[in-house]
Structure 1
Amino acid sequence: MYHFTKLAIELNEEDESVAPTDSRRRPDQRLMERGLWEEANKVKSEVEDRQRVVRKKREADVETAMAEGRPCPEYAPLWFEKTQDEYTGAVIHVFKNEYWDCKNKGDWNRCPNLW
């Protein structure tokens, strides 16, 4: 158990009912847990490279939109809504509760392909 508590170990257990974007589905994590370190590191690099490409494209799209004087939608998380806290004025992200409906239906069509 590598000195992990039972809770810590169970938090990362595979669960096919969670969103495809859930970190428990990261292929590099699963490979690491099986002791396949070299393959896990290779897959991790591939996942991170794809994430960088998506981020750079999003940044380029914003830059192009700004240069053309048109609005460009800000990145919005799938399960949270950006808002301002009414008491502190801080920008916060509030859970939209849509995740549970999607999970109950097994409908993950809105999720991007991360891996």
Structure 2
Amino acid sequence: MYFFSALALTLNEMEEGVSLTDSRRRPDQRLMEAGRWDEANTEKQRLEEKQRAARRRREAEATEAQEEGREFEAYQPLWFHKQTDHITGEANFVYKGGYWEAKDSEDWSVCPDIF
């Protein structure tokens, strides 16, 4: 399919119990795989605008907090934290825990609504 290798095809297969933010749940991707190109494009545009709106809200909250002299906690990924590699000096994202526990308990309440 679409000149993907067998490995590439299996990487995107759905799996039970994955996070609500797992990229395999992307509705635009599912539509594309079903050959519904126009709907997939419309859905992708909706998702991108939703992401832009969330970012604008975070930026507005940060600006407001700064103007009021309050501290503002910047966006932090759920499952990773940024760390500088002591050898290369480059920034890396390192798993900080929590995903497998949430998967075991099937509790994804900490996940944002990204789709």
TM-score by length of 1: 0.91
Q: Give the equivalent residue in structure 2 for 1:10.
A: 10
Q: Which moved more, 1:53-62 or 1:80-89?
A: 80-89
Q: Give the equivalent residue in structure 2 for 1:26.
A: 26
Question: What amino acid sits opposite 1:80 in the alignment?
Answer: F
- CA deviations on 1:22-77 (whole Å, 9 max, x unpaired) are 11000010001000111111111111111111000001111111111111001100
State the shift of 1:92 in Å: 2.8
5 Å-filtered alignment, 1:53-64, equals: 53-64=53-64
- Provide the C-alpha distance between the structure 1 equivalents of 2:42 and 2:64, rounded to a whole number of angstroms: 33
State the shift of 1:90 in Å: 3.7
* Root-mean-square deviation (Å): 1.4
> Is 2:93 the partner of 1:93?
yes
State the shift of 1:88 in Å: 4.3
> Is 2:108 the partner of 1:108?
yes
State the shift of 1:2 in Å: 2.3
- Provide the C-alpha distance between the structure 1 equivalents of 2:89 and 2:29, rounded to a whole number of angstroms: 38
TM-score by length of 2: 0.91
Work out the number of aligned pairs and report it.
115
State the shift of 1:89 in Å: 4.3
State the shift of 1:80 in Å: 0.6
- Percent identity over the alignment is 50
Q: Give the equivalent residue in structure 1 for 2:40.
A: 40
Task: Show structure 2 runs of 5+ residues with no match.
Answer: none
State the shift of 1:87 in Å: 3.8
Task: Show structure 1 runs of 5+ residues with no match.
Answer: none
Question: What amino acid sits opposite 1:40 in the alignment?
Answer: A
SS of 1:111 mapped into structure 2: coil
